[in-house]
């Protein structure tokens, strides 16, 4: 029996035959990124328990096999899949989505999320406690995982909470001697051996007395103060910020995370969404500075959308919007799963066009009537810049008084959304992320490459809205701008014109951001798209000295021992 056959048999002995995938067809949804990156893997393992992950890791480390940990595979920069086929060792992908348990501790004030648990599942689990998770609509809609968010410094759209962060986790790492080690930083006494620790956690075999409360953080408790500092010359949040790189937090798959412990948040008693429109980016900048520096109550969120992006989302993200609006967020992971299956089918049968699912869904969406509220549509015609601001509790009255006074003296206007308008305004902003991908899928033959930039601008930046020099602007076919304006994190998506060198153009764009003191990426992590800055690459090397987990991340070395 050869090496590969022995390995596959050993893995199947742990999980069962049906949970080890070796056929190219069955591996594709795990070996290809949602938007970016793909490569070959020897096998995909789908363990059903924490101990099974440990046992698979033991086999892979002993056989000198690269391990890529993967949860929902919803990342935008290819960070949880292989990238190319130039690795120096075989790869096994461990998909954790079967291990989706969430344990509630401290009367709902904290949770323990296992490696495959999702934000949507957490939202449902916390509702009876009157609490909600770190992140809500957005990443939760596409089934994103709790652990994936922590590993990638994701989140931050919710102004009071900042990026996903914890110092309490349990994970496996490979030390400098090439030995697999289990690290229990969860703050719970679970036993001595890896087998004891993982089984006791899996079976909730611990008491309240075994849960320890130390000075270790389960959230970014300094973020509110940080985001309020509107005169600071550095961004509020970004992936390479070493103040928030710790264990699982920001690890980008350089360790194997079994579970994380996180704080939760009370559901507000009262909420109100304000829809703001203006033709001046400086008006929005003034509102931002006033609210962050003068309000007693911070907003819950503040989501920006440029008119061009509003139009693109209305046309190219309509099917996603309608699916969530009519079927609920729980349907979206199923929709994306169906979409991936259709695309794999179209790749197999050459008579079907490429990106068949996008083309089919776009065709069907044309038959659906206009899905956006009348007042939003009126603001679309009047105003270039749109801002959806959500306030809660005492902040509702504070914001209402402020806006009524502000727009007596400044250009633009606002309205208070009804409950249905609020749901649709927030949803329209979040489905906007898919518009550039859909446009590119429909126009790939006549358009150039697609670029998605994730930029954190300094907190004191007043010229936050991009004004490109003509030598760059003339090379772009489409520009879509949206983002989280209170923390100055902007998502700037581009389609370049046919024949334009996208890599060269990207470097020119990045230089314009460098000149403005920006950091990137802000929240999508480096994946295989961005270069990891020294603070990140040094963190990765410290976590994973042999480079056995997810090598090549941040365009670092794919070779063993980082050679």
Q: Could you say which DSSP state residue 550 is in?
A: S
- Would you say 82 and 31 are in contact if contact means Cβ atoms under 8 Å apart? yes
Q: For residue 333, what are the CA distances in angstroms to 78, 137, 258?
A: 18, 13, 22
- DSSP annotation of 416: E
How far, CA to CA in Å, does 147 sit from each of 159, 291, 310, 379, 388?
Answer: 20, 32, 31, 38, 28
- At 351 the pLDDT is 63
SS3 35: coil
pLDDT of 157: 83
C-alpha to C-alpha distance for 303 and 295, rounded to whole angstroms: 18
Distance in Å from the first CA to the final CA of the chain:
32
Q: What is the structure's pLDDT at 134? A: 86
Query: 398-430 burial, b if ≥16 CB within 10 A, otherwise e?
Result: bbeebbeebbeeeebebbebeeebbbbbbbbbb
CA angle 505-510-511, nearest 5°?
100
- Answer yes or no: are the C-beta atoms of 47 and 98 closer than 8 Å: yes
Q: Which residue blocks in 366-523 are alpha helix, DSSP H?
A: 374-382, 394-409, 419-431, 435-442, 470-473, 502-515
Chain segment 292-303, per-residue pLDDT in tens:
999 999 999 999
Question: Is 295 strand, coil or helix?
Answer: coil
| Residues of the chain under the 50 pLDDT cut | 139-141
Burial class (CB in 10 A: 0-12, 13-18, 19+), 176: exposed
Q: What residue has token string 């069962």?
A: 16
Closest CA to 336 of 34, 552, 62: 34
Task: With CA atoms as reference, report the closest residue to 326 among 368, 357, 273.
Answer: 368
Length of the chain equals 563
What sign results for the dihedral spanned by CA atoms 392, 398, 399, 400? positive
* C-alpha–C-alpha distance, residues 443 and 122, integer Å: 38
d(CA 492, CA 188): 42
Beta bridge partners of 32: 38
Count Cα neighbours of 463 within 13 Å in the Cβ-side half-sphere: 8
**Tens digit of each residue's pLDDT (9 = 90 or more) over 54-88:** 999 999 999 999 999 999 887 888 899 999 999 99
Task: Give the pLDDT score at 119.
Answer: 87
Sign of the C-alpha dihedral computed for residues 320, 322, 323 and 329 taken in this order: positive
């Amino acid at each position: 029996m050869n090496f590969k056959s022995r390995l596959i048999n050993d893995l199947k002995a742990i999980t069962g035959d049906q949970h080890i995938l070796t056929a190219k067809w069955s591996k594709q949804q795990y070996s290809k990124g949602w938007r970016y990156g793909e490569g070959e893997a020897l096998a995909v393992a789908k363990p059903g328990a924490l101990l099974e992950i440990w046992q698979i890791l033991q086999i892979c480390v002993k056989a000198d096999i690269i391990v890529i940990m993967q949860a929902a595979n919803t990342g935008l920069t290819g960070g949880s899949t292989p990238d190319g086929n130039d690795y120096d060792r075989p790869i096994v992908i461990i998909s954790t989505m079967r291990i989706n348990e969430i344990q509630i501790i401290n009367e709902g004030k904290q949770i323990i999320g296992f490696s495959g648990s999702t934000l949507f599942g957490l939202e449902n689990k916390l509702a009876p406690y009157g609490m909600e998770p770190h992140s809500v609509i957005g990443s939760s809609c596409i089934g994103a995982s709790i652990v994936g968010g922590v590993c990638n410094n994701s989140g931050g759209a919710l102004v009071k909470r900042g990026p996903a962060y914890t110092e309490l986790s349990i994970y496996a790492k490979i030390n400098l001697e090439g030995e697999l080690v289990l690290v229990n930083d969860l703050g719970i006494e679970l036993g001595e051996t890896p087998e004891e620790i993982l089984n006791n956690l899996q079976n909730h075999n611990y008491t309240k007395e075994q849960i320890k409360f130390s000075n270790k953080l389960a959230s970014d408790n300094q973020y509110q103060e940080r985001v309020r500092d509107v005169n600071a010359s550095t961004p509020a949040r970004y992936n390479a910020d070493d103040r928030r790189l710790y264990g699982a937090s920001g690890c980008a798959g350089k360790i194997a995370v079994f579970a994380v412990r996180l704080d939760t948040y009370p559901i507000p008693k009262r909420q109100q969404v304000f829809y703001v429109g203006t033709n001046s980016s400086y008006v929005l900048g003034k509102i931002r500075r006033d609210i962050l520096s003068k309000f007693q109550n911070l907003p819950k969120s503040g989501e920006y959308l440029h008119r061009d992006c509003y139009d693109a989302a209305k046309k190219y993200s309509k099917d996603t919007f309608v699916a969530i609006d009519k079927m609920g967020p729980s349907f979206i992971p199923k929709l994306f799963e169906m979409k991936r299956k259709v695309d794999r089918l179209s790749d197999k049968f050459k008579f079907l066009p490429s990106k068949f699912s996008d083309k089919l869904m776009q065709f069907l969406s044309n038959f659906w009537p206009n899905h956006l509220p009348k007042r939003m549509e009126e603001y679309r015609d009047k105003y270039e810049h749109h801002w959806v601001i959500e306030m809660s509790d005492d902040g509702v009255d504070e914001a209402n008084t402020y806006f009524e006074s502000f727009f007596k003296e400044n250009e633009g206007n606002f309205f208070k959304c009804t409950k249905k308008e609020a749901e649709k305004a927030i949803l329209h902003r979040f489905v906007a992320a898919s518009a550039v991908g859909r446009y590119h899928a429909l126009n790939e033959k006549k358009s150039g490459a697609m670029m998605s930039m994730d930029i954190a601008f300094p907190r004191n930046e007043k010229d936050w809205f991009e004004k490109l020099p003509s030598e760059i602007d003339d090379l772009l076919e489409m520009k879509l701008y949206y983002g989280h304006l209170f923390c100055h994190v902007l998502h700037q998506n581009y389609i370049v014109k046919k024949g334009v060198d996208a890599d060269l153009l990207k470097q020119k764009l990045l230089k314009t951001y460098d000149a403005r003191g920006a950091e990137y990426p802000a929240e999508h992590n480096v994946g295989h798209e961005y270069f990891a800055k020294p603070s990140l690459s040094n963190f990765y090397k410290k976590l994973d000295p042999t480079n056995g987990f997810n090598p090549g991340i941040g365009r670092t070395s794919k070779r063993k021992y980082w050679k």
